Amino acid sequence: MCRGGGCAEPFAAAGRDGYTARTGGAPWDRQNWLSRFDPDPEVRGWARWDLTRSPAGDGELRLWADTWGEAFFAWEHLRRLAYACGARSVVDPVLVKPEAWNGEVPV
């Protein structure tokens, strides 16, 4: 999240590095980071998000986003959020019905 010389927590710095390694993208400055979570749906592409545990019990967490049923949506800021929170890897989104989310245990 922080750019050059910032004092990010070690897990956030590792997440920033993981995101950069995965995407080749540069870190965002704080204002850019905050603007990505503006509730304006024209910008964000999703209404809300949630985090659940995988029912397989494998330690995997799942990040769910309500995209109003759209198959294509801007989600790069959610990937960055996951890495900044300490994710070791983040896979691309998969579209599923809301019932699948309803059956999972929230974190």
28 contacts: CB under 8 Å, gap ≥ 6:
1, 3, 36, 80
For residues 67-83, average pLDDT: 82
User: Residue 80 burial (CB < 10 Å; 0-12/13-18/19+)?
Assistant: buried
For residues 68-90, average pLDDT: 83
11 contacts: CB under 8 Å, gap ≥ 6:
85, 86
* 21 φψ region: left (φ > 0), alpha (ψ -120 to 50), beta (else): alpha
pLDDT tens digit string along 38-73?
776 566 777 888 999 988 888 889 989 888 878 788
* 35 φψ region: left (φ > 0), alpha (ψ -120 to 50), beta (else): alpha
> What is the per-residue pLDDT for 43?
66
pLDDT tens digit string along 13-26?
888 888 888 888 87
Taking all residues of the chain, what is their mean pLDDT, rounded to a whole number?
81
> What is the per-residue pLDDT for 52?
92
Residue 89 amino acid letter: S
